[in-house]
Structure 1
Amino acid sequence: MKGLAIFIIILVVVYSIYFDLRYGTLQADDKQKDNPTTAQAVSSNPSLNFFKKKIQPGDTVLSIIEEEMNSTIPVPIEQVIADFRYLNNGVAPEKIQLGKVYLIPIY
């Protein structure tokens, strides 16, 4: 009987980890999709080029930019962070969520 209880607990823990990694545990903010503040931010800085990217497993802002450029990033990381936050209404690069679409700066 102890063995069955331990087995069930292990299954619950493994499923919880899988679910957390696959879908996340925080609710997504739907306001971010069509946020007028983001559109204003883009229009107020026309010199900052960007592209839209849907986040896949394993993506980071730096890896996405490096992949797009096929080389290393020519600006300081602090600049990348500031530009990403500017384009995405203050969202920190380390807070990106799987499946969401973000504006990624082009250098």
Structure 2
Amino acid sequence: MKRIGTIFIILVILYSVYYDLTIGTLPNGLTEVEVTTIEETETEIVTEEINASVPFDPFQEVTVEPGHTVLSIVEHLHEGPIPASIQEIVFDFQELNGGTKPEEIQIGKAYLFPVYH
């Protein structure tokens, strides 16, 4: 009975490792089409709501240097804790820069980064 239990546990662990390495639990780009369609619709709705009720937060133009990321630059612009989630920072960055994704920023180019109060 112990052998069957041990074999079962080993099979479950092997299957979990296989599933994590092949499909994974994090987005891998394969589902990007579905997510993009949903996000575009949500973005349009949110953008309309923002434009109707709340003006945009202030921003600052920064030239990207080697090793900088959107999050590191936004953290550098604030002295204390940032009152926004990473998702909000990414969304605001894309809105300020015409849809440029944070992973597509280039060294030497200037981008607008959100400043939160």
TM superposition score normalised by structure 1:
0.55
User: In the alignment, residue 76 of structure 2 is paired with which amino acid?
Assistant: E
Distance across 2 between alignment mates of 1:89 and 1:47: 14
Instruction: Tell me, yes or no, if structure 1 residue 99 matches structure 2 residue 114.
Output: no
Distance across 2 between alignment mates of 1:70 and 1:48: 17
Structure 1: state its 5+ residue gaps.
Answer: 1-43
Q: Percent identity?
A: 44
How many residues align? The count is 64
Distance across 1 between alignment mates of 2:100 and 2:86: 16
Distance across 2 between alignment mates of 1:87 and 1:79: 12
Distance across 2 between alignment mates of 1:63 and 1:93: 11
Q: RCO higher in 1 or 2 (8 Å CA, sep ≥ 6)?
A: 1
Offset at residue 48 of structure 1 (A): 1.7
User: In the alignment, residue 67 of structure 1 is paired with which amino acid?
Assistant: H
Structure 1 equivalent of residue 81 of structure 2: 72
Distance across 2 between alignment mates of 1:74 and 1:58: 24
Aligned residues: CA RMSD: 1.5
Matches within 5 A, 1:19-58: 46-58=55-67
Q: Aligned in 2, Cα 1:94/1:72: closer, same or farther, shift over 3 Å?
A: farther
**Counterpart selection for 2:99 from 69, 84, 90:** 90
Offset at residue 82 of structure 1 (A): 0.5
Structure 2 equivalent of residue 30 of structure 1: none
Matches within 5 A, 1:6-25: none
State the 4+ residue runs in structure 1 displaced beyond 6 angstroms.
none
Offset at residue 99 of structure 1 (A): 0.3
